[in-house]
Copies of this chain bind each other. A is one copy, B any other.
Amino acid sequence: MLGGMQDFELRVPRLIDHAAREHGAREIVTCWADGHETRTTWRDVHRDARKLAQALEKMGVQPGDRVATLGMNHSHHLVAWYGAIGMGGVIHTINPRLFDEQLAYIANHAEDRVLFYDKAFQPIVDRLRSAWTTITHYVCFDDDGPGGFAAVVAGESGDYAWVEGPERAPVMLCYTSGTTGNPKGVLYEHRSTMIHAMAGVAPWLLSLSSEAVVLPVVPMFHAAAWGLPFAGALSGAKFVYAAVNDPAVLCRLMNEEKVTHSAGVPTVWLSMFQHIDATGDAPRYLRQVTIGGSAAPRSMIRRIMDMGATVKHLWGMTETSPIGTAGARPPHWEEMSLDEQLDHVSKQGQIPFGVELRVLDDAGIVQPRDGQSSGRLQIRGPWVIKRYFKAEADCIDADNWFDTGDVAVIHPDGSMQITDRAKDVIKSGGEWISSVDLENAACGCPGVAEAAAIGVAHPKWDERPLLLVVRKAGSAVTAADITAHLAGHVAKWWLPDEIIFVDDLPHTATGKLLKTALREQYKNHRLASA
């Protein structure tokens, strides 16, 4: 016996239909790379997406084909998402910060048919055009001449009905850039994206509504922009896009457009603080700041809270659409001291309806939620990956658990806290030392610009920590200084066996420490203690 309710496929074009119908006049403001501003609306995006869908069909794109973008945040990019999806295509956002060989691999592996790109990335297109074997059409987003995005859209009528299909059909493709091997593609579905969007607007996650004015600093090429282009249409929020990440521009837009919600990585706020300190100008309307990508320092959280905004950590990954957890306020928030509030917000957040998390030790035993027992973090749920694009096997276990590669604890109140990446954790005498905690503690020592902690083989303890430190310009900080500082912040047995000063440290294309290179470099290093 089935129930008596209506058929309704969870398809992404319903979002832009809704936004145009119920929030049609709500604006999408863009500050472009050259500084000029444009104002469009959800109704306009809906119309232009239909026109773009027609144009894509004329270019020979078929339902299921991938349509790529290489662009910053702007209204044309938003039109490209909904246009490609609306004609049954799969929008594929490419991260322009990747290395050329990754860029070449990704577009070919995805078999992209069309590439929309920003003028700023013309050099990338010029370098890689001959390497990209499947792209037949290149359209520049911010070229207003013939063949540019505006002209392509203007050439169509917009008299178009979205392509229908099953809700499990693919809708978007994002590649993860690991530090080893080729990037891997995550192929989102209409259904997973819709459930993620419906979950995402909730008060405990992005907390969006038609009252919200959102300036997403997170780029549209990063982990589906945390789902904001979808959740924003669902809620009818106003969007303010900046194609450049200059804190002066961001701060001006936040005040001119009365931005209430912002979302980005911590470094955005470091540069914003510098701007505030230098100019006295500060965002005045922010109510919620969502920080993801990596953990925000406690001092950053406090400063944003002092500005009157709620701060939320968002933890997730491309494989999780990407929302895994977010920092919701607990019921007793008002009775907490500032220190307790900061402790709470410093964690990665609570587990929202939809996903489940668990922590496993090395033996595969599920760990208790005691805030102490750390282990590999696993996740499952409707917006979590099952199989990488074109892979021949699933990447989950028989019960759907996906191993995140993070090391975490879960606290008794259900808050999750990342302590390290699994491959970076230092295993000493059967216990785990968090390389992240060591690095953060070391960076708090005056004179230290950057630090990397890696495990080095040790005959007795299996591994022991080696700390590589870049001094601040002009500093003469010593190993003894750093060790003395660390002793006040970490357990004694966590103290590095050796500290080596270096001129710089290697990084990935997205700015993270490239620890694989460091481990390779120091794999035969003999610690003085060994």
**B-contacting residues of A (Cβ < 8 Å)?**
1-8, 10, 14-15, 18, 21-23, 26, 64, 166, 168-171, 185-192, 195, 198-199, 201-204, 207-211, 213, 234-235, 238, 321, 328-331, 333, 350-351, 353-354, 356, 380-389, 391, 396, 400, 414
Contact = CB atoms under 8 A, between A and B. Distances in A.
Candidate in A3, A190, A192 with the most chain B CB atoms within 10 angstroms: A3
Given A203-B201, A353-B18, A211 B1 contact: no
Contacts of A22: 350-351, 353, 414
A386 B192 contact: no
Given A21-B351, A198-B199, A203-B207, 8 more contacts: A3-B192, A4-B186, A4-B389, A6-B380, A198-B198, A203-B235, A210-B331, A211-B328
Contacts of A4: 170, 185-189, 385-389, 391
A169 B1 contact: yes
Nearest to A389: B4
Contacts of A8: 195, 354, 381-382
Candidate in A4, A198, A385 with the most chain B CB atoms within 10 angstroms: A4
A375 to B, nearest CB: 18
Given A350-B22, A353-B234, A211 B329 contact: yes
A6 B384 contact: yes
Contact of A235 (B26, B202, B211, B330): B202
B198 A331 contact: no
Nearest to A387: B4
A5 B385 contact: yes
Nearest to A382: B8
A414 to B, nearest CB: 5
Contacts of A381: 6, 8
A193 to B, nearest CB: 9
Contacts of A391: 4
A201 to B, nearest CB: 5
Contacts of A171: 3
A386 B208 contact: no
Contacts of A14: 353
Contacts of A330: 210-211
A209 B6 contact: no
A204 B383 CA distance: 23
A186 to B, nearest CB: 6
Minimum-distance CB pairs A-B, first 6: A3-B189, A8-B382, A5-B192, A4-B187, A3-B170, A203-B209
A89 to B, nearest CB: 11
B192 A202 contact: no
A292 to B, nearest CB: 20
B198 A204 contact: no
A278 to B, nearest CB: 31
Candidate in A186, A190, A199, A203 with the most chain B CB atoms within 10 angstroms: A203
Contacts of A3: 168-171, 187-192
A234 B351 CA distance: 11
